[in-house]
Structure 1
Amino acid sequence: MRPVGSAAAPRPSRPGLVTDPQVRRLQLRRTGLGPAAWVGLMVTYNAVVSAADVKAVAGTRLNRSRAGVLVLVCAFPVVAVALVAAARSDLRRLYLRRALRPLGAVAAVMASMDTSALAMTPELAGLRDAVGLPGKIALGVLCLWSIGFALYGIVLSPVHVFRTADIHEAVPPVLAGVLVWEMALLDVITGA
């Protein structure tokens, strides 16, 4: 059964998509094991010993997740263009056409992240005052929905890699590998 509406945005859904329930279970386990391994490392190396440490580590992890999504967004077009360039000439148009939904998924997650920030920015206080109470309620609902959608997209991005399997089944694992190396390179450059 395929999700309907906004829940379907981060999930691949093209006709003819190869789906394997065992691979799906492995993807979900891998996604769950990541945070579990991270918590295990934090406890093992006593990185968290007080409530202030928990807050600092959680903030750092949230920033790193957001950075990972942003790096993934930047790497996606490069990997997609490389795939299209390497494809047979008769498949290039097909892959380019299939890239529209993953680009839409990326745009939806990025827009939802920006919408929530835009709704709370102090520079728009005049606009919020001008729209009155009904407008403020609508902005609040939009803000809550966009935060939920952004979190949903960020949580699903390691599993579905912004639905890039819609282009070709090989794109998500290649893109995930590129992301790991990019994040490792960023850690080396920043000293993390």
Structure 2
Amino acid sequence: MVRAPFDLAARIHRPGRPDRIVDEAIRRAQIARTAIGLLAGFWLVLSYPLREGAGGVVEDKFAEVLVSAGLLLVIGPLALGAFVLSARPPGPAFYRARLRGPATAIGALLATVLVMSYGLPYAGTFAFGLGAIAGLFFIPFALASAVLCVHHAFRTADVHEVLPPLLSPLLVWSLFFVQLFDDAPVSAPLAVRVLFLLAPPLSVTALSLWELRRLRVRHGVTVRLALGRQG
């Protein structure tokens, strides 16, 4: 029962197209980058004084994930639309048939936001117990959905394998510009703060370029080929 919201979020937000390319080297590199980022974040928090309590830092990280999901709600559909419309026939019709996965992920996240914003407070007003029980499911489901939809870029791999590495840099650089206006969570030297601000978008961009190269070299997949413009 405890795992139910996490299992449901995983089923909704993980790509599900059976014939998509799954490269284990790419998957391991993504996991390694995430692990290094988490370790670096822990080091930063442990090495320098916090500007706010530990609870505030955790809240900031959750807010960062939610902001990322919100940015992806805007960037994702625009990028998908641009990709589909840029493809030469019969590409647009072919890719539109694959939009079910991303549409499911986007719809699930929007529905979760609406339930969290309006449904749970309403239930709590008239039936506190019902609202509390629902919250035990929807809060972890919402957090898991926010993390997974960002990690899997709204299941855009269901449309084509080149989309996640194209979309991820757009997301992290958009988040970078948002974070420029936020205060750092720790009282670290300026050089350290700049490093931790630039490292995520630069590392994601480098990993995405490597992923696109690996798709080209190992699997013969390119952006031009995906758009039908190889000729």
The normalised TM-score by structure 2 is 0.67
Which blocks of at least 5 consecutive residues in structure 1 are unaligned? none
Kindly indicate whether residue 169 of structure 2 is the aligned counterpart of residue 177 of structure 1.
yes
Aligned residue number for residue 81 of structure 2 = 81
Name 1:26's counterpart in structure 2. Answer: 29
Aligned residues: 178
After superposing on structure 2, the runs of 4+ consecutive aligned residues of structure 1 that deviate more than 4 Å are none
Q: For 1:63-102, list aligned pairs within 5 A.
A: 63-102=63-102
What is residue 37 of structure 1 aligned with on the other side? Answer: 40
Q: Following TM superposition, by how much is the alpha carbon of 1:124 offset from its aligned partner in structure 2, in angstroms?
A: 6.3
Q: Using a 3 Å threshold, how does the CA distance of structure 1 residues 124 and 153 change in structure 2: closer, same or farther?
A: closer
- Structure 1 residues 124 and 42: alpha-carbon distance in aligned structure 2, compared to 1, 3 A threshold: closer
Give aligned-pair identity as a percent.
27
Change (3 A) 1:41 1:5: closer
- What corresponds to 2:228 in structure 1? none
Root-mean-square deviation (Å): 2.6
Residue 7 (structure 1) shift:
3.1
- Amino acid aligned to 1:95: Y
Gaps in structure 2 of 5+ consecutive residues: 1-6, 184-231
TM-score normalised by length of structure 1: 0.79
Contact 1:71 1:182 in 2 (8 A): yes
State how far apart, in whole Å, the 2-side matches of 1:98 and 1:71 are.
22
Taking the TM superposition and a 5 Å limit, the aligned residue runs for 1:98-117 are 98-117=98-117
Distance 2:72 2:34 in 1: 16
Asked if structure 2 preserves the Cα contact closer than 8 Å seen for 1:119 and 1:143, the reply is: no
CA distance in 2 between counterparts of 1:144 and 1:171 reads 34
* Contact 1:113–1:146 under 8 Å retained in 2: no
Paired residues of 2:69 and 2:150 also in contact (CA < 8 A): no
The residue type equivalent to 1:48 in the other structure is L
**Deviation per CA, 1:41-60, whole angstroms, max 9, x where unpaired?**
2333x1428xx521222222
State how far apart, in whole Å, the 1-side matches of 2:116 and 2:136 are: 7
Verify the 8 A CA contact 1:11 1:163 in the aligned structure 2.
yes
